[in-house]
């Protein structure tokens, strides 16, 4: 057994001063039991805990670390920026570089505004959609997570789902009465909602590839359908690409699927591991934001030079390094290996993957939406999670999170992972 003595000591201390001992709920390991380990160093595809254990990491700080941890180009960009000052609250040149990069890369983005988290990006995009269309209602899909703003915290994925309360306490019903929640991949449900709420729907917000209830893919034609029906009703289509942006391709899921949304939300990768969010879209919509327009949105640290420097370095390295080809190869190796491991252990697993994102659900039924995902055997996942940790492989501590491969993973890392999975799955009967 790996020793976690120092982590246990730190967690006991943390519990005294931090609610649940963590600053974001899924980190507490509640969905898998046991206690979190504390990490004080990470490099490439590996994280090192305070007890000296090393893990192959498939969480990648929940998405940003697409190049692996502590990439030298990002570290040096942040160091250089820090020497010039950590925040100005006055326009700085890096903001312009970043905006230009995002507009050049993402088909649906003509103008972009930076903020500090994916939550802020989605919250602001919704406000903008409502302001622009002068309509109140929003459609979201169950199991999709768009951060923890009030009106979006209904039937949400990620931690909200993990803890069985996708509807949070403290959100007045009045705040969510304009949020219509529908099952993903269901065309008729969307048609019915538009028919029942004529000229009232400001927009649809969707993760084009939902990655906050595990991972499942849009059925062929589904995203096209969302594009068409929103356009037909003069509603906006908002792609929440906080997870998929710059991951599924340099231009995000929208580039990969060839669907151009009206607004897009970003976070994670564009900050290179620093706190960042962004939302952008058609210029005519974006110009509804203050100071040009009537929709208010602001931030003391928005466009922060350290975050911009880290994000720009991340994007430049991603674009120039051939990372996406490498990610595809590693993903192919992992998915083939994991499917074989499950088969040889005779454990039913639905291994969903796209680009460098993946999720293995313990169920014999295909998973296309949240209801399907809920059929998976979570007790089995718990055992699997701890078994893999013991083998030095760290997956997200919940069945309902996507895994991420980074360009710093090696074929040897994947090989180790697949062998460990084959071994651990045999113990799951
Ligand atoms: C992570 C995530 C968010 C929230 O971003 P934070 O930076 O954690 O606030 C929103 N939407 C999606 C799709 C995400 O994956």
Residue 399's domain comprises 5-67+322-425
Q: What one-character DSSP code corresponds to residue 266?
A: E
Ligand 1: atom nearest CA of 118 is 5
Distance of CA 386 to the CA centre of its chain: 23
336 Cα–ligand 1 center, Å: 29
Q: What is the DSSP string of 210-262?
A: --SSS--PPPTTHHHHHHHHHHHTTPEEEEE-TTTTTTTSTTHHHHHHT---S
CATH of the domain at 349: 3.90.1150.10
Ligand 1: atom nearest CA of 62 is 1
10 and 54 in a single domain? The answer is yes
306 and 415 in a single domain? The answer is no
**In the Cβ-directed half-sphere of 262, how many Cα atoms lie within 13 Å?**
26
Q: What proportion of the chain, given as a percentage, has pLDDT over 90? A: 93
132 and 142 in a single domain? The answer is yes
55 and 129 in a single domain? The answer is no
What is the pTM assigned to this prediction? 0.97
Ligand 1: atom nearest CA of 207 is 13
**Whole-number Cα distances in Å, 153 to 156, 181, 288, 291, 368:** 6, 11, 25, 28, 21
2 Cα–ligand 1 center, Å: 32
425 Cα–ligand 1 center, Å: 31
* Atom 6 in ligand 1: residue holding the nearest Cα: 118
| Mean per-residue pLDDT over the chain, rounded | 96
Averaged pLDDT for residues 319-329: 96
User: Which of 320, 336, 359 is where one domain is finished?
Assistant: 320
**Can you give the pLDDT at residue 163?**
61
Best of 118, 247, 311 to mutate for ligand 1, by most ligand atoms within 8 A of CB? 118
Averaged pLDDT for residues 139-152: 94
Name the pLDDT band for 166 (thresholds 50, 70, 90).
Answer: low
Best of 152, 268, 270 to mutate for ligand 1, by most ligand atoms within 8 A of CB? 268
What pLDDT digit, counting tens, does each position of 29-62 carry? 999 999 999 999 999 999 999 999 999 999 999 9
Averaged pLDDT for residues 387-406: 97
53 and 90 in a single domain? The answer is no
* Atom 11 in ligand 1: residue holding the nearest Cα: 146
148 Cα–ligand 1 center, Å: 8
122 Cα–ligand 1 center, Å: 8
**Can you give the pLDDT at residue 303?**
98
Q: What one-character DSSP code corresponds to residue 115?
A: E
User: Which of 320, 343, 360 is where one domain is finished?
Assistant: 320
Residues noted as catalytic: 145, 240, 268
30 and 95 in a single domain? The answer is no
The CA distance from 247 to 10, in Å, is: 33
299 and 376 in a single domain? The answer is no
Cβ atoms of 246 and 269 closer than 8 Å: yes
What pLDDT digit, counting tens, does each position of 359-378 carry? 999 999 999 999 999 999 99
249 and 310 in a single domain? The answer is yes
What pLDDT digit, counting tens, does each position of 55-92 carry? 999 999 999 999 999 999 999 999 999 999 999 999 99
Averaged pLDDT for residues 207-233: 98
Q: How many CB atoms lie within 10 A of CB 100?
A: 12
* Atom 5 in ligand 1: residue holding the nearest Cα: 118
The DSSP bridge partners found for residue 139 are 180, 204
Instruction: Tell me: pLDDT of 153 over 90.
Output: no
| β 277-281/393-394 pair status | unpaired
Name the pLDDT band for 165 (thresholds 50, 70, 90).
Answer: low
**Whole-number Cα distances in Å, 164 to 340, 366, 368, 374:** 32, 22, 20, 11
62 and 109 in a single domain? The answer is no
**Can you give the pLDDT at residue 151?**
87
250 and 370 in a single domain? The answer is no
Please count the structural domains in the chain: 2
Averaged pLDDT for residues 16-20: 97
Instruction: Tell me: pLDDT of 164 over 60.
Output: no
Averaged pLDDT for residues 216-221: 98
314 and 342 in a single domain? The answer is no
**Can you give the pLDDT at residue 162?**
64
171 and 280 in a single domain? The answer is yes
Instruction: Tell me: pLDDT of 267 over 90.
Output: yes
User: Which of 320, 342, 367 is where one domain is finished?
Assistant: 320
The CA distance from 266 to 354, in Å, is: 19
- Name all residues whose Cβ lies below 6 A of ligand 1: 117-119, 122, 145-147, 207, 212, 240, 242-243, 267, 277
CATH of the domain at 77: 3.40.640.10
Ligand 1: atom nearest CA of 275 is 7
Ligand 1: atom nearest CA of 210 is 13
- Residue located via tokens 């340099």: 250
**Which of 17, 25, 77, 72 is CA-nearest to residue 408?**
72
């Amino acid at each position: 057994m790996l020793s976690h003595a120092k982590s246990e000591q730190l967690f006991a201390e943390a519990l005294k001063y931090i609610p649940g001992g963590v600053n974001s709920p899924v980190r507490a390991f509640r969905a898998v039991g046991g206690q979190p380990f504390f990490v004080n160093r990470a490099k490439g595809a590996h994280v090192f805990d305070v007890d000296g254990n090393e893990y192959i990491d498939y969480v990648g700080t929940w998405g940003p670390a697409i190049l692996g941890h502590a990439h030298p180009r990002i570290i040096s960009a942040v160091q250089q920026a820090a020497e010039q000052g950590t925040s100005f609250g006055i326009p700085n040149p890096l903001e312009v570089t970043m905006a230009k990069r995002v507009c050049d890369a993402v088909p649906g983005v003509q103008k972009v505004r930076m903020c500090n988290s994916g939550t802020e990006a989605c919250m602001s995009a919704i406000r903008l959609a409502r302001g622009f269309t002068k309509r109140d209602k929003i459609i979201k899909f169950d199991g999709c997570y768009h951060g923890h703003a009030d009106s979006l915290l209904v039937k949400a994925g990620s931690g909200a789902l993990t803890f069985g309360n996708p509807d949070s306490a403290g959100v007045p019903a009045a705040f969510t009465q304009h949020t219509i929640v529908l099952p993903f991949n269901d065309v008729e449900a969307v048609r019915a909602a538009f028919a029942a709420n004529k000229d009232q729907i400001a927009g649809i917000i969707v993760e084009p590839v939902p990655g906050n209830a595990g991972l499942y893919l849009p059925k062929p034609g589904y995203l096209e359908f969302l594009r068409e029906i929103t356009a037909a009703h003069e509603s906006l289509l908002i792609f929440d690409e906080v997870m998929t942006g710059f991951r599924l391709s340099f231009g995000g899921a929208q580039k990969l699927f060839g669907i151009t949304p009206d607004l897009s939300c970003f976070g994670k990768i564009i900050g290179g591991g620093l706190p960042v969010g962004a939302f952008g879209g058609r210029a005519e919509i974006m110009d509804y934001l203050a100071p040009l327009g009537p929709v208010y949105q602001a931030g003391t640290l928005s466009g922060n030079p350290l975050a911009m420097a880290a994000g720009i370095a991340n994007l430049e390295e991603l674009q120039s390094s051939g990372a996406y080809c490498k990610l595809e190869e590693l993903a192919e190796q992992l998915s083939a290996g994991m499917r074989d491991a499950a088969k040889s252990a005779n454990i039913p697993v639905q291994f969903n993957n796209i680009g460098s994102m993946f999720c293995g659900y313990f169920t014999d039924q295909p998973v296309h939406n949240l209801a399907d995902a809920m059929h998976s055997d979570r007790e089995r996942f718990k055992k699997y999670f701890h078994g893999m940790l013991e083998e030095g492989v760290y997956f997200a501590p919940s069945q309902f999170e996507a895994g991420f491969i980074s360009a710093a993973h090696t074929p040897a890392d994947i090989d180790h992972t697949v062998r460990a999975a084959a071994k651990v799955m045999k113990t799951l009967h």
